[in-house]
């Protein structure tokens, strides 16, 4: 029987997962739907339904990931995964919003049928009696996951498309698996660890021989302490480390904050990056120790070193991007004549510290491309290069390699070490989306190959002092921005005020933009001294409060 949209099933499913009387469903935000868990079952039903339609339209597997990333444990959400492991395009985000806005059972059946028609699903003939699709559903370890997964599965079931229950997954793992499945590659849970372990074995070339235990000895480090935010990444990191051990890797990992309680509560990458504070459980870690944090769904990674005074030195997404870009540039030096034909790019957002942008320009000869906030924007831009490095300051990012480049490298891999290094990097770095575990392995590999400690990494460049603030306003949509969100075009005179405040500081830079995930306006400021960065941020916050309808006390 070919898949078909059964309106009775849609109505029936909708009546089993009715809208919550106490809360409006959220719109599709910077990274999918996110809200308090109790209002989400009808949203997940619609996500399952939409993923099924997308999979039929593409004739490929798609995915639904039930997660709210670094948000508190009471929240949950959905990230939709397209057929090449990508986040959904704006057109499909609109579809998602249309389905979520369809409140009644009948409205939902009608809206789903309209999208089904718009995508011409009934006229697709795969030679097997109709289009072929499939949806894989995974979740993080929040207590609300069970019901929300059931809702997503009910949505898929309205169409007769086959489903795969992947159970507990990190977000990047599920993206990886969807992509691998559609490329005809092994895509099981174990295949994910295999690919990372084998990629790392190749990338670490002089640290490995054959799989002799202990051969990948610790070089220049006592090991890595990994804060898993009490999230789903803990069990996955342990599985990965076990696979590395099997492959003979002797690197030491100390996995902490493994849950099950306390998800994202004063732990994890968002806490470390935004609060510049040690995660719980790291209070007594020795000064200078090599530590990293991932977030609740393991798509963000930051490194840090305790400073011995309860503070830390942070290695954020920009520092990670700089290290990866340096490594790539060095590899390309080993391929004279060929390397010049590759387009290498780094993509950043306005939150990238000015010192990192300057480093990429002056030390590496790269011209960073700036996009709006949100990984989907960075990813799209990075995919236009042969090697595209992208990272948000918060630690979400990866390195993308074009098919064209991979094919060229394969042709020379037997005689060219640098080509082998880049191919290995393309295996380690998740090609679908930012992946904390794969990023961690690559950072470790690079530091060990360079025989660098954190000090050498830190010395690549020194961040300009910066400050981020949030301002509550009645309606954050009154702020309109341009130039990759670096300038405000509404309300009137806000930008003039910001320009004047910036001009009063040495090396000043500041901007304000409405958040896509929280009901706030975000302020970013940097300047030559911490005092100036703080006062600049405060000035901009006051301007926003005054001109954009601030609520609550003046900052
Ligand atoms: C300053 C900041 O960190 N913004 C984050 C945050 O988006 P906002 O639109 O700023 O709320 O969440 C996004 C999704 O996780 C992430 O992509 C982005 O970088
Ligand atoms: Mg996340």
Cα of 54 vs its chain's centroid, Å: 22
Cα distance between residue 230 and residue 240, in whole Å: 16
366: its two tokens: 């790269």
For residue 153, pLDDT beyond 50:
yes
Run of H or E including 487:
strand 487-490
The predicted pLDDT at position 209 comes to 40
* DSSP characters over 254-298: EEE---SS-TTSS-HHHHHHHH--PPTT-TTPPTT--EEEE-TTS
Is the pLDDT higher at 516 or at 70? 70
Out of 301, 515, 537, mutate this one to test ligand 1's pocket (max ligand atoms within 8 Å of CB): namely 515
Domains and CATH numbers, the chain: 7-168 (3.40.120.10), 191-310 (3.40.120.10), 317-416+424-438+452-458 (3.40.120.10), 466-547 (3.30.310.50)
Q: Which residues pair with 227 in a beta bridge?
A: 256, 293
Cα distance between residue 28 and residue 293, in whole Å: 27
256-293 as b/e: b if 16+ CB within 10 A: bbbbeebbbeebbbbbbbeeeebbbbbeebeeebbbbb
* DSSP characters over 50-119: HHHHHHHHHTSEEEEEE--TTS-TTEEEEEEE-TTSPBPPHHHHHHHHHHHH--SHHHHHHHHHHHHHHT
At residue 252 the predicted structure's pLDDT band, cuts being 50, 70 and 90, is: confident
Please state the pTM of the whole predicted model.
0.94
At residue 304 the predicted structure's pLDDT band, cuts being 50, 70 and 90, is: very high
Is 69 part of the annotated catalytic residue set? yes
How close is the Cα of 158 to the center of ligand 1, in Å? Answer: 33
pLDDT tens digits, residue range 406-421?
A: 999 999 999 999 999 9
pLDDT tens digits, residue range 340-399?
A: 889 999 999 999 999 999 999 999 999 999 999 999 999 999 999 999 999 999 999 999
How close is the Cα of 170 to the center of ligand 1, in Å? Answer: 18
Out of 172, 374, 511, 537, mutate this one to test ligand 1's pocket (max ligand atoms within 8 Å of CB): namely 374
Helix (H, G, I), strand (E, B) or coil at 357: helix
Q: What's the average model confidence in pLDDT over 27-48?
A: 92
At residue 213 the predicted structure's pLDDT band, cuts being 50, 70 and 90, is: very low
449: its two tokens: 């190959």
Q: Which residues pair with 374 in a beta bridge?
A: none
Exactly one of 55, 69, 293, 356 is catalytic; name it: 69
Q: What's the average model confidence in pLDDT over 217-242?
A: 86
Q: Is the minimum distance from the CB of 522 to ligand 1 under 6 angstroms?
A: yes
At residue 457 the predicted structure's pLDDT band, cuts being 50, 70 and 90, is: very high
- Closest by CA to 102, choosing from 10, 38, 33, is 10
- Closest by CA to 79, choosing from 375, 389, 519, is 375
For residue 130, pLDDT beyond 90:
no
pLDDT tens digits, residue range 96-109?
A: 999 999 989 999 99
The predicted pLDDT at position 336 comes to 81
Cβ pair 85, 176 in contact under 8 A? yes
How many percent of the chain have pLDDT more than 90? 84
Task: Kindly give the number of the ligand 1 atom that is closest to the alpha carbon of 274.
Answer: 3
At residue 327 the predicted structure's pLDDT band, cuts being 50, 70 and 90, is: very high
Cα distance between residue 316 and residue 397, in whole Å: 11
Task: Kindly give the number of the ligand 1 atom that is closest to the alpha carbon of 300.
Answer: 15
Say how many C-beta atoms besides its own lie within 10 A of residue 309's C-beta: 7
């Amino acid at each position: 029987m070919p898949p078909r949209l059964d309106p009775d099933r849609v109505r029936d499913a909708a009546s089993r997962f009715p809208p919550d009387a106490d809360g409006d469903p959220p719109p599709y935000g910077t990274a999918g739907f996110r809200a308090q868990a109790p209002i989400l079952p009808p949203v997940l039903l619609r996500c399952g339904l939409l993923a099924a339609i997308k999979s039929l339209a593409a004739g490929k597997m798609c995915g639904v990931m039930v997660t709210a990333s670094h948000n508190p444990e009471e929240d949950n959400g959905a990230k939709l995964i397209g057929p090449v492991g990508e986040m959904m395009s704006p057109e499909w985000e609109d579809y998602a919003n249309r389905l979520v806005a369809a409140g009644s059972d009948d409205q939902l059946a009608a809206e789903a049928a309209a999208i089904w028609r718009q995508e011409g699903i009934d006229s697709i003939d795969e030679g097997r009696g109709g289009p072929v699709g499939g949806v894989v559903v995974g979740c993080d370890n929040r207590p609300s996951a069970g019901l929300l997964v059931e809702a997503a599965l009910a949505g898929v079931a309205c169409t007769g498309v086959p489903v795969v229950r992947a159970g507990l997954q990190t977000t990047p793992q599920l993206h990886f698996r969807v992509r691998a499945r559609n490329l005809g590659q092994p895509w099981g849970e174990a295949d994910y660890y295999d690919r990372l372990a084998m990629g790392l074995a190749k990338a670490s070339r002089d640290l490995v021989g054959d799989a002799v235990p202990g051969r990948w000895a610790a070089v220049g480090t006592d090991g890595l302490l990994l804060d898993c935010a009490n999230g789903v990444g803990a069990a996955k990191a342990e599985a990965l480390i076990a696979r590395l051990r099997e492959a003979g890797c002797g690197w030491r990992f100390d996995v902490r904050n493994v849950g099950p309680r306390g998800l994202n509560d004063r732990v994890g990458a968002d806490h470390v990056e935004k609060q510049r504070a040690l995660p719980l459980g790291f209070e007594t870690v020795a000064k200078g120790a090599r530590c990293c944090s991932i977030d609740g769904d393991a798509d963000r990674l930051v490194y840090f070193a305790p400073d011995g005074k309860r503070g830390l030195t942070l290695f954020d997404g920009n520092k990670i991007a700089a290290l990866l870009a340096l490594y790539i540039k060095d590899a390309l030096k080993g391929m004279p004549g060929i390397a010049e034909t590759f387009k290498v790019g780094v993509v950043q957002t306005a939150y990238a510290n000015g010192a990192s942008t300057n480093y990429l320009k002056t030390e590496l000869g790269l011209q960073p491309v700036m996009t709006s906030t949100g990984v989907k924007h960075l990813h799209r831009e990075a995919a236009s290069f042969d090697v595209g490095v992208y990272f948000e300051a918060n630690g979400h990012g990866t390195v993308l390699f074009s098919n064209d480049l991979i094919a060229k490298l394969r042709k020379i891999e037997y005689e060219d070490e640098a080509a082998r290094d880049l191919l290995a990097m393309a295996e380690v770095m998740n090609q679908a989306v930012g992946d904390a575990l794969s990023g961690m392995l690559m950072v470790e590999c690079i530091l060990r190959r360079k025989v660098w400690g954190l000090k050498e990494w830190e010395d690549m460049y020194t961040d300009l002092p910066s400050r981020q603030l949030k301002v509550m306003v009645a309606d954050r949509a009154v702020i309109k921005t341009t130039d990759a969100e670096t300038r405000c075009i509404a309300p009137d005179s806000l930008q003039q005020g910001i320009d004047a405040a910036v001009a009063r500081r040495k090396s000043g830079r500041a901007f304000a933009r409405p958040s896509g995930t929280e009901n706030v306006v975000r302020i970013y400021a940097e300047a030559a001294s911490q005092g100036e960065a703080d006062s600049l941020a405060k000035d901009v916050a006051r301007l926003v409060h005054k001109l954009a309808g601030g609520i609550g006390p003046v900052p």
